[in-house]
């Protein structure tokens, strides 16, 4: 039995109410709850920094469910990281920059929703200049690496505004989780 922390990083933006990200969180909870312990945080509802730090210490795997706004996480998720990732608890200074992470026994997964179509990735003639999903999320991976955590393969839902397909996203997420978590 493993401990999972799922963070819903959605922040209301324009007409985006966050239903897709909440659906994906609910789907993960349903899938993982059977044989594991699961805690969640929905940033839009508020949080206690101390409680969140305790959840990180408790968790074996942290899953960030977040939309990508302007090629990064919403401001609310960035603020959460700034407030929760504490020196001395999550990282410390070291001889080499970026090698003082204290969460070395933990894994994480980025599960993201994009308005970008899937074809915008992995093609040097498209917007991301040939970067795959992991490359486009590289800056977010650096944050987790700084804390010492180890990545699981990221997941993405593409084209979520122009061509939403909720059933497809949930089915693909379940298959992805079963693959990367080996169950």
What pLDDT, on the 0 to 100 scale, is given for residue 13? 77
From 62, 52, 49, 67, select the one nearest 10 (Cα to Cα).
Answer: 67
Domain boundaries, the chain: 3-180
What pLDDT, on the 0 to 100 scale, is given for residue 183? 79
User: How far, in Å, CA of 12 to CA of 137, rounded?
Assistant: 21
DSSP-derived letter for residue 169 is H
What pLDDT, on the 0 to 100 scale, is given for residue 15? 74
What pLDDT, on the 0 to 100 scale, is given for residue 156? 98
Token readout for 66 is 């977040």
**Chain position carrying tokens 């977040």:** 66
Residues of the chain with confidence (pLDDT) below 50: none
Within 10 Å of residue 163's Cβ, how many Cβ atoms? Answer: 10
Token readout for 183 is 């169950």
Q: Are 170 and 65 in contact (CB under 8 A)?
A: no
What pLDDT, on the 0 to 100 scale, is given for residue 17? 82
Q: In this structure, which CATH number among 2.60.120.10, 1.10.1050.10, 3.40.50.360, 1.10.630.10 belongs to the domain 3-180?
A: 3.40.50.360
User: How far, in Å, CA of 87 to CA of 90, rounded?
Assistant: 6
CA–CA distance from 162 to each of 60, 68, 74, 115, 116 (Å)?
36, 15, 20, 7, 9
């Amino acid at each position: 039995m493993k401990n999972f922390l799922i963070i819903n990083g959605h922040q209301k933006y324009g007409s985006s109410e966050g239903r897709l990200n909440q659906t994906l969180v609910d789907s993960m909870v349903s899938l993982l709850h059977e044989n594991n312990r699961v805690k969640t945080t929905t940033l839009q509802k508020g949080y206690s920094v101390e409680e969140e730090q305790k959840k990180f210490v408790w968790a074996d795997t942290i899953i960030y469910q977040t939309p990508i706004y302007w090629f990064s996480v919403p401001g609310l998720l960035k603020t959460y990281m700034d407030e929760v990732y504490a020196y001395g608890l999550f990282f410390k200074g070291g001889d080499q920059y970026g090698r003082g992470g204290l969460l070395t026994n933990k894994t994480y997964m980025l599960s993201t929703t994009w308005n970008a179509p899937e074809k915008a990735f992995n093609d040097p003639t498209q917007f991301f200049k040939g970067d795959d999903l992991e490359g486009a999320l590289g800056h977010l991976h650096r944050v987790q690496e700084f804390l010492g955590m180890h990545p699981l393969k990221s997941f993405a839902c593409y084209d979520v505004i122009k061509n939403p397909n909720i059933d497809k996203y949930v089915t693909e997420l379940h298959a992805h989780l079963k693959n990367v978590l080996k169950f």
